[in-house]
């Protein structure tokens, strides 16, 4: 069933886009200055809070697509994320020198998860994590991804994964205050507010719930946001509402396909310049000093 405009009212990606577009930004010019988009994470400094998303299987976009994406992130001095891949591919990605965060699926076999964490450490990643939102399929049963069985994880299991590594451990797929509290209790060193590109219909937009999650986290650990970030303006809105950084996926697909790593680099730089433009016009001197009161809501949200 479709609504009168031909949209799918259950489509979480469309709901998320509509919410982004419902947010307005007021201008503030007096006492503004050239802004800095520098971003610090786990003791390292990057030129932008706009990061790669934890993508997987980009070989159908471009040959060695995951490696090309990492090269683009490196050249833009941005954080690279990586999703599902085999060990050889992760080794090739980290060999580029890109500072990479490896997100591991919630495999049913916990021993395999521990081995993947150990391998990621040996590869020199800057952090590891798990996308907990990929545990179930839409039929209420445990998911199967490319033949690999998944399983939901308890708080105790997450604590064991976190204790097994000296690296920061990030929990991806937090879309509620409840899971934010549990992530803190587990000892996570970061969370990703995400609905995994609409993995569930009618999912709340990440930016809608973000202020409540940010209040729970209270700056104790970094908050990252993905799902539907396609511009510097989108990134600004996320940062204003409580994110420390954002991840971009689909917006880099076409540049990656056409121009490889250089296309990725240019897209990150373009979006960062857009972000800086909004920051300059809102009296935001750096990404830690964006006043959330510049955001206005419309359309009944």
Q: Which residues contact 147 (CB under 8 A, 6 or more apart)?
A: none
pLDDT by residue, tens only, the chain of 301 residues: 344 456 789 999 999 999 999 999 999 999 999 999 999 999 999 999 999 999 998 999 999 999 999 999 999 999 999 999 999 999 999 999 999 999 999 999 999 999 999 999 999 999 999 999 999 999 999 999 999 999 999 999 999 999 999 999 999 999 999 999 999 999 999 999 999 999 999 999 999 999 999 999 999 999 999 999 999 999 999 999 999 999 999 999 999 999 999 999 999 999 999 999 999 999 999 999 999 999 999 976 6
Task: Report d(CA 75, CA 268) in Å as an integer.
Answer: 10
pTM: 0.96
Task: Report d(CA 22, CA 105) in Å as an integer.
Answer: 33
Number of H helices, E strands in the chain: 9, 14
Q: Which helix (H) or strand (E) holds 182?
A: helix 177-186
Q: Where are the domains of the chain?
A: 48-296
Neighbours of 266 (CB within 10 A): 16
CATH 3.40.50.720 fits domain 48-296: no
Task: Report d(CA 275, CA 239) in Å as an integer.
Answer: 10
CB 285 within 8 A of CB 64: no
């Amino acid at each position: 069933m479709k609504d009168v405009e031909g949209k799918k009212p259950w489509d979480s990606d469309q709901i998320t886009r509509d919410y982004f577009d419902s947010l307005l930004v007021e201008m503030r010019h007096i006492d503004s200055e050239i802004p800095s988009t520098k971003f610090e994470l786990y003791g390292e400094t990057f030129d932008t809070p706009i990061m790669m998303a934890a993508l997987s299987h980009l070989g159908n976009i471009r040959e060695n697509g995951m490696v090309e994406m990492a090269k683009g992130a490196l050249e833009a001095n941005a954080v690279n994320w990586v999703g599902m891949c085999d060990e050889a591919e992760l080794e090739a990605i980290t060999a580029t020198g890109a500072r990479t965060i490896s997100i591991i699926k919630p495999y049913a076999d916990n021993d395999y998860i521990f081995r993947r964490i150990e391998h990621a450490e040996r590869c020199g990643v800057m952090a590891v994590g798990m996308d907990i939102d990929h545990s179930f399929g839409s039929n209420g049963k445990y998911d199967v991804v490319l033949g690999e069985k998944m399983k939901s994880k308890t708080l105790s299991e997450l604590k064991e994964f976190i204790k097994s590594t000296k690296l920061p451990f990030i929990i991806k797929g937090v879309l509620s205050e409840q899971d934010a509290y549990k992530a803190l209790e587990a000892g996570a060193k970061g969370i990703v507010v995400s609905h995994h590109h609409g993995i569930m219909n009618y999912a709340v937009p990440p930016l809608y719930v973000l202020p409540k999650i940010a209040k729970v986290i209270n700056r104790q650990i970094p908050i990252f946001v993905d799902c539907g970030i396609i511009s510097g303006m989108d990134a600004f809105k996320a940062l204003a509402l409580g994110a420390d950084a954002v991840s971009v996926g689909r917006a880099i697909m076409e540049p990656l396909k056409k121009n490889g790593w250089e296309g990725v680099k240019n897209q990150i730089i373009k979006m960062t310049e857009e972000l800086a433009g909004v920051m300059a016009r809102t009296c935001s001197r750096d990404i830690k000093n964006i006043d959330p009161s510049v955001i206005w809501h419309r359309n009944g949200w």
